[in-house]
Amino acid sequence: MSFQKIDDLGRKLEALEHALAILGADEATHMAVGGGEKRAEAMASLAGMYHRQATAPEIADWIADAEAQKLGEEQQAAVREFRRHYTNLTCLPVDFVERQTNARMRCEQLWRDLRAKNDWAGFLPALDGVIALAREEATMRADVLGLEPYDAMIEQHDPGARTASIGPVFSELKGFLKEFVPEALGVQEERAARRPLKALSGIYPVEKQRELGLAMMAATGFDLSHGSLSVSHHPFCGGVPSDVRITTRYRTSEFLSALMGVLHETGHALYEQNLPKEWSHWPLGKARGMAMHESQSLFVEKQLGRNPAFWRWALPVIAKHLGEAWTLEDILPHVHRVERGLIRVDADEVTYPLHVILRYELEEDIIAGKLETIDLPAAWDAKMREYLGLSTIDTPGDGPMQDVHWAAGAFGYFPSYTLGAMMAAQQWAALTREHPAADSDLAEGNFDKINDWRRDKIWSQGSRWSTPELLERATGEKLEASHFINHLRGRYGEV
Amino acid sequence: MSFQKIDDLGRKLEALEHALAILGADEATHMAVGGGEKRAEAMASLAGMYHRQATAPEIADWIADAEAQKLGEEQQAAVREFRRHYTNLTCLPVDFVERQTNARMRCEQLWRDLRAKNDWAGFLPALDGVIALAREEATMRADVLGLEPYDAMIEQHDPGARTASIGPVFSELKGFLKEFVPEALGVQEERAARRPLKALSGIYPVEKQRELGLAMMAATGFDLSHGSLSVSHHPFCGGVPSDVRITTRYRTSEFLSALMGVLHETGHALYEQNLPKEWSHWPLGKARGMAMHESQSLFVEKQLGRNPAFWRWALPVIAKHLGEAWTLEDILPHVHRVERGLIRVDADEVTYPLHVILRYELEEDIIAGKLETIDLPAAWDAKMREYLGLSTIDTPGDGPMQDVHWAAGAFGYFPSYTLGAMMAAQQWAALTREHPAADSDLAEGNFDKINDWRRDKIWSQGSRWSTPELLERATGEKLEASHFINHLRGRYGEV
């Protein structure tokens, strides 16, 4: 039985994924500093075993045979996702993947060194090489998938997402934000004039912040018997669904950044912990792509965690753990702080999409061959001045050298962040239509109905539908900028 | 080139070993409680991959070809150990291994449940099945290796060790101990009469005990950039040589048990951290068996860590971390406590060997078919009464059901503990002959020359020599009971 062969293979691959996921999380949290070299060797070797086993030629026959078998609907879906996975893994020639891996690794190493030095000239040749290979990759994937080249790259991160539908939505959002950012900043200034900002400072021991984080995780639905909270340099959500590892980092001088980080990663973790367990060894059982994953983290961080109703419940919890009684009027200006800045990862929810749309537009032109690597600093600067009134022409480290994504060859990834933000707002809008008491639930720290909705609509679906289909089934609509726009207006606009 | 094939295979196996070692250590320290089932599945699958790759039939040809190649001495040694490893892995038929694995797992599960209930009758059939299979295993291994059956089992744990040499040494030690235990207890009583025991109690926060443990680890040579200290239910030394994971457990009411545990595991860790790095992907680069490993842990715990000179240095370190100033006269009676007890793992260094010799003698008869499973409780009780004056006839949970080893089918393992204790004493004797200032080094907390000797004689040798050869090369003598006997006399006997 060919389906059985696929099923058995899935279990072997799951074991290797398990090892890679735990070794990866361990590396960032518990590994001894000198253990890195051997860890890298071991993980490269395991990744090689994974690739060899997942791309074996006989699998093509198993899939074809399984497609011809009489299978139940779930198994058909499993085979469909297995094929998608297999096609994406095998459509590039091995020698191309090797060349690309080398070019990416070299470019990432250079990036680590040269970004802080703003050395664009030194970085350019390596990035140019990675971009040439990305264009080649996009063309090859496009041929196999029957898509446009940039769409074929987006497909790797968000199955079913296409520029034809993303483009108009991003355009609408951009048009709105170019006018709205000044408005939100004006509102903020006005409020600060009426009530001066209480500085976010104090002494908050790490152990107490950790206890607060664990309490918030548990309250928002994180299953502490299937996951844990550690410390790492960069916060992440890793591990496996049966043991989700999330991390944060602490500053003893303030508690908000660690706490918001914990909420963000908890959002990712809830998705992983609630995926269908019986499918865990199939691609079908995985989360549906980056944008949907980001929608789950942003749902908890932004839709819930920056909602004033949430803070009615949260402030006493914080007071209990940290011994400091903030008022809603004093904390919300920090939770809702808006600022024009150069750095994407530091951006707030109002300005963040402009950072992403800038990259999306540049990426699209890069892959299409309309923009050359050498012209990136000027193109970046022009958009940055237009969207946020800031210039990066003298600081390429804050411009096209800002993120590791392009150095690592990850084109088509950036849109996920803002697609996620929009999808989170659309999910919250749909949820509150069905469950109008969601805000008062939040104010009571009651996440049950909110999580029930999300489990039913998103988490339990695994990779059953494409990203756009999953969103439409969950919310009753295709992707719409209006929900996110209304969300921002309501939280940051003039009343 | 066949040697190259072996070398490449070694790197793949090392990656799987790395994953299994880190996953195993993680399971006992950082894994979420609900993660166990998936972890077990993943590890079983990875162990299967390891076994398939390590036992592939073509490897036999590679080894034979490599043996015919013109190789350097190191590479010849590598091939020799590769063959030993391959032979031990492949000499049992696959269906036998599967039957045995099932029987062992079932027996271990029963053991966990029935030991506390002293339910020998319920346990007997399962253990009898495991013993029948162990006899079969021993016969098959004996045929392939050209050894006696029990020797073929010992060979799995301590290559080169044979009953013909262990037997007389154990006999001599047993004869000594049967008379010496009463003597040591008498000395202890006399001393207590002169100076009453100061109770080992207080309040020692875990964090402070942990800092003390780390300070002791670093001082005794543990490389903290290639390893770490965590907490687990049972102390262990795991991980990989580039990242050695040791653990302990704490009681806040006293510090000695955690600290001695840390010293013991540090002894294991030093061996692992100092193995030849360039051989790490060959069996040749592994530590030489259980007895030699135990000799390294006992060297640190007993030869160093219970040496009065060590405590001259250690007491101020303890006072600094725990804020309590013990005197040498008050602490040594605890460090040198002797007690007749039923439980091996709780035994002190004087009585421990009697627990081991008892098991060794019973095992030898079991494998030879001279002792049947049903007669074990009576045989155990008879020896226990003879050696330690204690009876277990009414409490089989403290008798033949005490340890997991037999339930798990691990026959030939027990001798390692006492071989290790004797080898540690023999190493200390050889070291102090060459370096008479070792005691004063200890009193100053200077472990450099002591560790240099051990690195040169033991750690750097990997699996180059059989256990007896390695000992003889290091100490200039074959295994001798006299060094351990002199050690006990000096520390516990009448002056």
Three-state SS for chain A is: CHHHHHHHHHHHHHHHHHHHHHHHHHHHHCCCHHHHHHHHHHHHHHHHHHHHHHCCCHHHHHHHHHHHCCCCHHHHHHHHHHHHHHHHHHCCCHHHHHHHHHHHHHHHHHHHHHCCCCCHHHHHHHHHHHHHHHHHHHHHHHHHHCCCHHHHHHHHHCCCCCHHHHHHHHHHHHHHHHHHHHHHHHHHHHHHHHCCCCCCCCCCCHHHHHHHHHHHHHHCCCCHHHEEEEECCCCCEEEECCEEEEEECCECCECHHHHHHHHHHHHHHHHHHCCCHHHCCCHHHCCCHHHHHHHHHHHHHHHHCCCHHHHHHHHHHHHHHHCCCCCHHHHHHHHCCCCCCCCHHHCCCCCHHHHHHHHHHHHHHHHHCCCCHHHHHHHHHHHHHHHHCCCCCCCHHHCCCCCCCCCCCCCCCCHHHHHHHHHHHHHHHHHHHHCCCHHHHHHCCCCHHHHHHHHHHCHHHCCCCCHHHHHHHHHCCCCCHHHHHHHHHHHHCCC
Chain A residues within an 8 Å CB radius of B44: 15
Say whether residue A12 is in contact with chain B using an 8 A CB cutoff. yes
State pLDDT tens for residues B35-81: 999 999 999 999 999 999 999 999 999 999 999 999 999 999 999 99
Place A337 in a pLDDT band, splitting at 50, 70 and 90.
very high
Residues of chain A found within 8 Å of residue B232, distances taken between Cβ atoms = none
Coil, helix or strand for B231? strand
Predicted confidence at residue A495, as pLDDT, reads 77
**Chain A residues touching B45 at Cβ < 8 A:** 11-12, 14-15
Rg, chain B, Cα only: 23
Q: What is the pLDDT of residues B26-36, one digit of tens each?
A: 999 999 999 99
According to the model, what pLDDT value does residue A201 have?
A: 86
What is the pLDDT of chain A when averaged over all its residues? 97
How far is it, in rounded angstroms, from Cα B15 to Cα A228?
A: 26
With an 8 Å Cβ cutoff, are B242 and A46 in contact? no
Q: Is CATH 1.10.10.60 what the domain over A159-222+259-495 is classified as, yes or no? A: no
| SS3 state of residue B229 | strand
B221: left (phi over 0), alpha (psi -120 to 50) or beta: left
As a whole number of angstroms, the distance between CA B243 and CA B273 comes to: 8
Which residues pair with residue B231 across a beta bridge? B248
In the prediction, which pLDDT does B200 show? 86
Q: What amino acid is encoded at A379 in this protein?
A: A
CA B26 to chain A, closest CA, distance in angstroms equals 8
Interval B100-112 mean pLDDT: 93
> Residue A1: pLDDT band by 50, 70, 90 thresholds?
confident
> How much is the pLDDT for B201?
86
Euclidean distance between CA atoms B444 and B310, whole angstroms: 8
Residue B87 has pLDDT above 80, yes or no: yes
Query: Do the beta carbons of residue A92 and residue A140 sit within 8 Å?
Result: yes
CB crowding B251-267: b at 16 or more within 10 Å, else e: eeebbbbbbbbbbbbbb
pLDDT of residue B58: 97
CATH of domain B160-495: 1.10.1370.30
* Separation between Cα atoms, residue A290 and residue B162, nearest integer Å: 60
Least confident of A363-377, A419-433, B95-109: B95-109
Which CA distances in Å does B153 have to A186, B91, B138, B366, B411?
A: 81, 13, 6, 12, 6
In percent, the amount of chain A with pLDDT more than 70 equals: 100
In the prediction, which pLDDT does A324 show? 83
Interface confidence, given as ipTM, is 0.93
What pTM, to 2 d.p., does this model score? Answer: 0.95
A226 → closest Cβ in B30, B35, B225: B35
Q: Name the residue among A39, A228, A242 with its Cβ closest to that of B37.
A: A242
- Give residue-wise pLDDT tens across range B289-315: 999 999 999 999 999 999 999 999 999
User: What b-and-e string marks burial along B5-26, b requiring 16 or more CB atoms within 10 Å of the CB?
Assistant: bbbebbebbbbbbbbbbbbbbb
Flag whether residue A41 sits within 8 Å of chain B, measured between CB atoms: yes
Give the span between the Cα atoms of A400 and A358, in whole angstroms.
Answer: 11
Residues of B in contact with A243 (CB under 8 A): 31-32, 34-35, 38-39
Taking the Cβ of residue B2 and every Cβ of chain A, the question of whether any pair is shorter than 8 Å is answered with no
Q: Which residues contact B445 (CB under 8 A, 6 or more apart)?
A: B219, B313, B314, B317
Residue B23 Cα, gap to closest chain A Cα (Å):
7
For the stretch A372-381, contacts whose Cβ atoms lie closer than 8 Å and that sit 24 or more positions apart, written own/partner, are A373/A124, A373/A127, A373/A128, A373/A131, A374/A124, A374/A128, A376/A127, A376/A400, A377/A120
Domain boundaries, chain B: 2-157, 160-495
What six digits make up the tokens of B310?
Answer: 């060590």
Chain A residue numbers touching B11 (CB-CB < 8 A): 41, 45
Which residue from B114, B93, B162, B126 is spatially nearest to B373, judged by alpha carbons? Answer: B126
Strand spans (E) along B125-258:
227-231, 237-240, 243-248
Backbone angles phi, psi at A245, to 5 degrees: -100, 110
Q: Which pLDDT tens digit goes with each residue over B314-333?
A: 999 999 999 988 999 999 99
Looking at residue A469, its pLDDT comes to: 98
Give yes or no for residue A58 having a pLDDT over 80.
yes
Task: Tell me the C-alpha distance between A211 and A364, whole Å.
Answer: 44
> What residues pair up with A229 in beta bridges, in sequence order?
A246
Is the pLDDT score of B115 beyond 80? yes
The residues of B annotated with a catalytic role in the active site are: 265
Which of A12, A46, A277 to mutate to probe the B interface, most B CBs <10 Å?
A: A46
Residue burial B171-210, b: 16+ Cβ < 10 Å; e: rest: eebbebbeebbebbbebbeeeeeeeeeeebeeebeeebbb
* Mean of pLDDT values over A433-453: 98
User: CA-CA distance, A302 to A264, in Å (whole number)?
Assistant: 8
Pair B290, B416: CB distance under 8 Å? yes
A12 to chain B: nearest residue by CA? B45
pLDDT above 80: residue B495: no
Q: Is B16 on the interface with A (CB under 8 A)?
A: yes
Span A433-448, average pLDDT: 98
When pLDDT is averaged across residues A99-125 and rounded to a whole number, the result is 95
What gap in Å lies between CA A429 and CA A436, rounded to an integer?
10
Q: Contact, A326 vs A318, CB < 8 A?
A: yes
Q: pLDDT confidence of A200, banded at 50, 70, 90? A: confident
CA distance A16 to B13: 14
